[in-house]
A and B are shown apart, each in its own frame.
Chain A
Amino acid sequence: MEGKKEKGWERVPRKIEDFFSPREPIPKSLYVILSLGSFAFFLLIWSILTYGGFIDPLFLPSPGRVFQAGVDLFVELGFTTDILNSVYRVMLGFIIAALIGVPLGLVMGTFKVAEAFTEPVVGFIRYMPASAFIPLFILWLGIGDVEKIAIIFVGSFFQLVLMVAVVAKNVHKDMLETAYTLGAKRVQVIWKVLLPASLPGIVDTLRIIVGWAWTYIIVAELVASASGIGYMIISAQRMLRTGNIIFGILTIGMLGLITDYFFKWLYNRLFPWVE
Chain B
Amino acid sequence: MEETIKLHIHNVSKIYRSNGDDVLAVDEIDLKIKNQEFATILGPSGCGKSTLLRIVAGLIKPTQGVVRLDGKVITSPGQDRGMVFQSYTLFPWLTVKENIQFGLELSGTPKAQKEQMAQAFVEKVGLKGFERTYPKGLSGGMKQRVAIARALANNPAILLLDEPFGALDAQTRSLMQELLTQVWEELHKTILFVTHDVEEAIFLSDRVFVMTARPGKIKAEIDIPLERPRSYEIKATESFLNLKKQALALIREEAIKATQYI
- Given the complex of chains A and B, what is the CA–CA distance between A54 and B91 in angstroms? 61
Closest to B60 in A: A177
Q: Give chain A residues whose Cβ lies under 8 Å from the Cβ of B92.
A: 197, 273-275
Q: Is the CB of A174 within 8 A of B106?
A: no
Interface size on B, residues (CB 8 A): 29
Q: Is the CB of B89 within 8 A of A272?
A: no
Choose among A172, A182, A183, A271 the residue that contacts B93 (Cβ–Cβ < 8 A). Answer: A271
Choose among B76, B136, B160 the residue that contacts A274 (Cβ–Cβ < 8 A). Answer: B136
Q: Which residue, B57, B106, B107, has most C-beta atoms of chain A within 10 A?
A: B106
Q: Is the CB of A178 within 8 A of B85?
A: yes
> Known contacts A183-B78, A273-B135: does B91 contact A174 (CB below 8 Å)?
no
Verify if A184 is at the interface (C-beta below 8 Å from B): yes
Smallest CB–CB gap between B260 and chain A, Å? 30
Smallest CB–CB gap between B184 and chain A, Å? 19
Q: Give chain B residues whose Cβ lies under 8 Å from the Cβ of A271.
A: 93
Q: Is the CB of A197 within 8 A of B107?
A: no
Contact count band on A: 20 to 34
B125-144 to A contact mask, C-beta < 8 Å, 1/0: 00000000011100000000
> Known contacts A177-B85, A193-B91: does B134 contact A182 (CB below 8 Å)?
no
Choose among B85, B147, B154 the residue that contacts A183 (Cβ–Cβ < 8 A). Answer: B154
**Would you give 18 A-B contacts (Cβ < 8 Å), ordered by A?**
A174-B87, A175-B89, A175-B91, A177-B57, A177-B59, A180-B77, A181-B77, A181-B81, A181-B151, A182-B150, A183-B79, A183-B106, A183-B154, A192-B106, A197-B92, A199-B93, A275-B92, A275-B136
Interface on A for B, CB 8 Å cutoff?
A: 172, 174-175, 177-184, 188, 192-193, 196-197, 199, 271-275
